[in-house]
Amino acid sequence: MNTKGKLVSGIVVGGLLSLTAPPAHAHHAFSAEFDAEQPIELKGVVTKLELVNPHSWLYLDVKQTDGSAKNWGFEFGAPFSLKQKGITKASLPVGSEVTIQGYRAKNGKDFGYAVTTVLSDGRSVKTGGAQDAPGAQANGQAQ
């Protein structure tokens, strides 16, 4: 990938990451892109799941008050870390309904960082992978 392979790995913060998490997690810091002061909670319908290193992305259509749909993108952890939590392509099929709790992007666009994802079967999964992301305890603030 496009970063040098000299990134510091192995620092596990808040138990969010397992020891086998690849160094790709450190690809960029949470705080470089996302705003810990702007928690967000959205319910939507999955349009695409990209299981891409170093960060996976989930895209969902969120219904607006006027009835139209707006497509949001949320950053997830690396594919391998998701797989360890039981998340594969089959867990988030296109068309399924999910709820995301996380934080908005600093640039104000329709992107965010997913800390927790509630799947259509009710399962709640920690989907974020950044080492400096606010922990699960921050979810209570999400609106």
Q: Whole-angstrom Cα distance, residue 142 to residue 113?
A: 12
Cα-Cα-Cα-Cα dihedral of 14, 18, 21, 23, to 10°? 40
The minimum distance between CB 90 and other proteins, in angstroms, equals 7
Choosing from 63, 89, 109, 123, the residue that interacts with other proteins (CB under 8 A) is: 89
Q: Does 123 bind other proteins (CB under 8 A)?
A: no
The minimum distance between CB 41 and other proteins, in angstroms, equals 26
The residue among 112, 115, 126 whose CA lies nearest residue 60 is 112
Q: Whole-angstrom Cα distance, residue 102 to residue 11?
A: 22
Choosing from 18, 88, 107, 124, the residue that interacts with other proteins (CB under 8 A) is: 88
Looking at the chain, how many residues does it have?
143
Choosing from 12, 14, 37, 53, the residue that interacts with other proteins (CB under 8 A) is: 53
Tokens of 75: 């950053």
Q: Does 20 bind other proteins (CB under 8 A)?
A: no
Binding residues vs other proteins (CB under 8 A): 1-8, 26, 28-29, 32, 50-53, 79, 83, 88-90, 132
